[in-house]
Amino acid sequence: MKPFTQHRGIAAPILRINVDTDAIIPSREMKTVSKAGLADGLFAGWRYLTQGSRDINPDFVLNQDPYNSATILLSGENFGCGSSREHAVWALAEYGIRAVIAPTFGAIFYNNCIKNGLLPIELPDETIRSLAKTVEQDPRQEQLAIDLNACAVTTSDGTTHSFTIAPTHQEMLLEGLDSIDMTLKMLPDIEAFEATDDRAVWARPAC
């Protein structure tokens, strides 16, 4: 997995609440049994004028210069709610988004981000609105700098906003760790658990 340590880039505001994973990648855009080839379908319902077409909707922020080079999203509460489809994260990452800043996230989406090197940052809504105001003055100049070691988002004038992230998630992103490899090293613990679990007789019948 691609590690995340520091990143500086253009932030695009999508300031509405409950941006669901159907909006991030509609089901009709998940066309093959693959984690790749999804960027084109990112936000398809908003990005293109008609369904199934690729006619650019000029009103959508990611179609506007310089937001079309955005690598950070600013959004409202409950970003990534809804369907568990990891395709939402795969699409964002393939498109080039490295971090999403929102007050809260859908729980499954949040975990999917961590597994794919995409940094979900939780900040209060008013902070995000003020960041958006700053960015909108000159998106190319007013880029946001993110430092995952320091857990900080910094604007071009040096104003810093600290965020919190669980140590486990921070470490996985910083190191680009594969959690399956890490857990497979704990197989003796798992086997010991199974051997002593009183529930085993009914919870794990031999088949």
Partner 1 sequence: MGNTIFDMLWRDHQVRALSDGSSLIYIDRVFLHERTGGIALKSLTDAGRAVRRPSSVFCTIDHIVDTFPGRGDDTRMPGGSAFITTTREMAQKAGINFFDIGDPRQGIVHVVSPEQGIALPGLTLVCPDSHTCTLGGLGAFAWGIGSTDGEHALATSTLRINRPKSMQIWLDGTLREGVGAKDIILALIGKYTAAGGSGYMLEFAGPAAQALPVEARLTLCNMAVEFSAFTGLIAPDDTVFEYVAGRPFAPKGAVFDAALSYWRTLQSAPDAHFDKRLELDVSQLSPQVTWGTSPAHVAGIDQPIPDPSQLAVDASTQTSLEKALNYMDLQPGSSVEGLPIGGAFIGSCTNSRLSDLRRAAAILKGRKVAEGVNAICVPGSSQVKAAAEAEGLHHVFQDAGFSWRESGCSMCFYAGGESFGHRQRVITSTNRNFESRQGPETRSHLASPETVAASAICGAITDPRKLTRGVVTRDAA
| 106 counts as binding partner 1 under rule CB under 8 A | yes
d(CA 117, CA 110): 11
| 195 counts as binding partner 1 under rule CB under 8 A | no
| 92 counts as binding partner 1 under rule CB under 8 A | no
Nearer to partner 1, 27 or 68 (CB): 27
Of residues 30, 39, 56, 151, which one binds partner 1 by CB under 8 A?
30
Helices (H), the chain: 21-24, 44-47, 87-95, 107-115, 125-137, 167-175, 179-184, 187-196, 200-203
| 77 counts as binding partner 1 under rule CB under 8 A | yes
Length of the chain: 207
**138-105-175 Cα angle (round to 5):** 80
| 207 counts as binding partner 1 under rule CB under 8 A | yes
Helix 107-115 × helix 87-95 angle, to 10°: 50
Q: Which two tokens stand for residue 197?
A: 């679990």
Positions 125 through 164 that interact with partner 1 (CB under 8 A) = 125, 129
Q: Which two tokens stand for residue 176?
A: 């680009």
| 34 counts as binding partner 1 under rule CB under 8 A | yes
Nearer to partner 1, 58 or 205 (CB): 205
d(CA 184, CA 189): 10
| 23 counts as binding partner 1 under rule CB under 8 A | yes
Binding positions for partner 1, rule: CB under 8 A = 15-18, 20, 22-23, 26-28, 30-35, 45, 50-52, 76-78, 81-86, 89, 104-108, 111-112, 115-116, 125, 129, 166-169, 171, 179-180, 182-184, 186-187, 189-190, 193-194, 197-199, 201-207
